[in-house]
Chains A and B, each alone.
Chain A
């Protein structure tokens, strides 16, 4: 089974509007972390935002917020006031904790990615 699922291969948004990128995850671990990364066409992986499984508040970082719904196992990224420079591939990733077993400890499992295009 996929541990991280991003169901939107591509998304379009108008400049200055908000957009939500979907991410669902699957784990039986109690202690895990959820991350979003941005990969522009230049290729680097840029960390955007982190949510711990025990964090009660949704994470926010500037224009990025993470809509964390633990019971539904979803961790959607919300980008407010989109800018042209937001056009990129976005990856959701999960890090499971020690309870997931030795070979899972610490590694990031990535989703398939969503290509976001911001139109002027």
Chain B
């Protein structure tokens, strides 16, 4: 009964290829996120979706395109992979911030991460 799951866990590919990472959450959350953790362990947000709608899009190259078919899924597609894309990518989910007033916290729960290596 994994809360936030990601596939694959490891992804090794050649420069120039296109790849996708899938994320699913079974927590009933409204908001999902993609974060990138670089080789220095620094974590930075890439995207956020709320009820399938894009609400945060940090300065990420156009080669990265998130897709949310429903509020339980947020996939990340990367075109024309580059060496600098090598990192660990984390998916996360949370309750919408508006529910905070009802006593819920908007704690973000993370998936296990996908280690992407571009050769």
Contact = CB atoms under 8 A, between A and B. Distances in A.
Interface secondary structure of A, over-half rule: strand
Interface residues of B, number: 28
Interface string A26-70: 000000010101010001111100101000000000000000000
A107 B106 CA distance: 10
Given A43-B113, A107-B56, A33 B42 contact: no
Interface residues of A, number: 27
A91 B43 contact: yes
A39 B42 CA distance: 12
Interface of A: 33, 35, 37, 39, 43-47, 50, 52, 89, 91, 93, 95, 97-98, 102-103, 105-110, 112-113
Given A39-B41, A45-B110, A89-B41, 12 more contacts: A33-B105, A33-B106, A44-B110, A45-B113, A98-B97, A105-B56, A106-B55, A108-B35, A108-B43, A110-B42, A112-B41, A113-B41
